[in-house]
Amino acid sequence: MLSVAEQTSALSVADYLAGETESEIRHEYIDGQVYAMTGASDQHGLIVNALAFALTPAARRKGCQLFTSDMKVQLEISGQTLFYYPDLLLSCDLQDREPYFRRSPCLIVEVLSKSTERIDRREKLLAYQTLPSLMEYLLVAQDAARVEVFRRSNNWQAEGYSGGEIRLDCLATSLAVADIYLDVELPGTAVT
C-alpha cells in the first residue's frame, strides 16, 4: 500500500480494499487517496474494549454486529467514495454484510485523541451524518469522563454526559458513563 506522498494517481476502491487485506498498517480512503492510521494509546484501547463489553449483550439480543477498530464504514458523498475505520461500529441491517466494510451502521463511536479530535469533530461528524441508517454518533474523551452524543432524532445537536446513563436508541438500551471508564485511570482519580 502506498502512502499519500508516494501516490501519483488516485487509487481505485478495488485496489484499496485488496491492499488493506495485505497491509500491516490500516489506511482510511478518501476519493482515491489513502491516509495511514496512527497507533492508539492504552487508554484508548481500554475505553474501546469497555464499550464493546458493555454493548455486546444488547447487540446480540437485537441480532446486530458490533465491531471495534478493524471494520471499515463506506460512505458515498457527492460522488466520492470514503472508507473510515471507526473505533466502534454497530450494524443491525441484515443486508449489510460485506466482509471488510459496512454501509449501514446505526451507531458509530470515536474515542478522541489529540491527533484525531479535529477530524472526528468536524470531517467525520459531517460525513457520518450522510448515512441514512445512522442514529447516533458518540465522541468519547480519554482524559476525562466526558461523552458527547450526536443524534439524528435531535438534529445532530451535541448532548454532553459526564455521568449517569446514555440512552442509545439504536440498541434500545442505556449505557452508563462509568462503565466506559471502568478500566482507565483518569487524571485526578486513583486506582482502587
CATH at residue 90:
3.90.1570.10
Strands 107-111 and 101-102: unpaired
| Tens digits of residue pLDDT in 72-96 | 999 999 999 999 999 999 999 999 9
pLDDT at 189: 60
Percent of the chain with pLDDT over 90: 86
| Tens digits of residue pLDDT in 19-62 | 999 998 999 999 999 999 887 889 999 999 999 999 999 999 99
Structural domain includes residue 112:
yes
Structural domain includes residue 50:
yes
Cell numbers describing residue 11: 487509487
pLDDT at 1: 38
Structural domain includes residue 173:
yes
Total of domains in the chain = 1
Cell numbers describing residue 95: 443486508
| Tens digits of residue pLDDT in 107-165 | 999 999 998 999 999 999 999 999 999 999 999 999 999 999 999 999 999 999 999 99
Structural domain includes residue 98:
yes
State the SS3 of the chain. CCCHHHCCCCCCHHHHHHHHHHCCCCEEEECCEEEECCCCCHHHHHHHHHHHHHHHHHHHHCCCEEEECCCEEEEEECCEEEEECCCEEEECCCCCCCCCEECCCCEEEEECCCCCHHHHHCHHHHHHCCCCCCCEEEEECCCCCCEEEEEHHHCCCEEEECCCEEEECCCCEEEEHHHHCCCCCCCCCCCC
Structural domain includes residue 127:
yes
Structural domain includes residue 14:
no
Residue 179 has pLDDT above 60, yes or no: yes
The residue to which cell 475505553 is assigned: 47
Structural domain includes residue 55:
yes
Domain that holds residue 123: 42-71+85-180
Structural domain includes residue 160:
yes
**pTM score, whole prediction:** 0.90
pLDDT at 8: 52
